[in-house]
């Protein structure tokens, strides 16, 4: 189960973008990128990297839990 959750978070990390519409981040303090796929909003580069990093941390934690569970099963089995 942990492996499935980690796959979700790694996929989410690869697709997340933070735009000007996201009010959690101040676009004045970021490098703004124009993306042809998001014509209405500019993408905040550093805020997007921060969000991707956050999702990668969550995915790595779930992966470690999956490996730990497999190790416990191997030792007990």
**Segments forming the whole domain that contains residue 69:** 2-76
The contacts found for 35-44 with CB under 8 angstroms, 24 or more apart, are 43/17, 43/18, 43/19, 44/18, 44/19, 44/20
Instruction: Supply the pTM of this predicted model.
Output: 0.77
Count of structural domains within the chain = 1
- Cβ-proximal residues to 65 (8 Å cutoff; 6+ apart), any chain: 2
> Do the beta carbons of residue 3 and residue 63 sit within 8 Å?
yes
Render pLDDT for 11-69 as a digit per residue (tens, 0 to 9): 999 988 887 767 676 666 666 666 666 666 677 888 888 899 999 999 999 999 999 99
> How many other C-beta atoms lie within 10 A of the C-beta of residue 48?
19
């Amino acid at each position: 189960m942990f492996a499935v959750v980690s796959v979700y978070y790694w996929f989410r990390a690869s697709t997340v973008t933070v735009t000007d519409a996201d009010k959690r981040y101040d676009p004045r303090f970021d490098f703004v990128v124009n993306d042809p796929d998001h014509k209405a909003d500019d993408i905040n580069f550093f805020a997007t990297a921060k969000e991707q990093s956050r999702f990668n941390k969550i995915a790595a934690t779930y992966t470690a839990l999956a490996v730990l569970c497999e190790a416990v099963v191997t030792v007990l089995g």
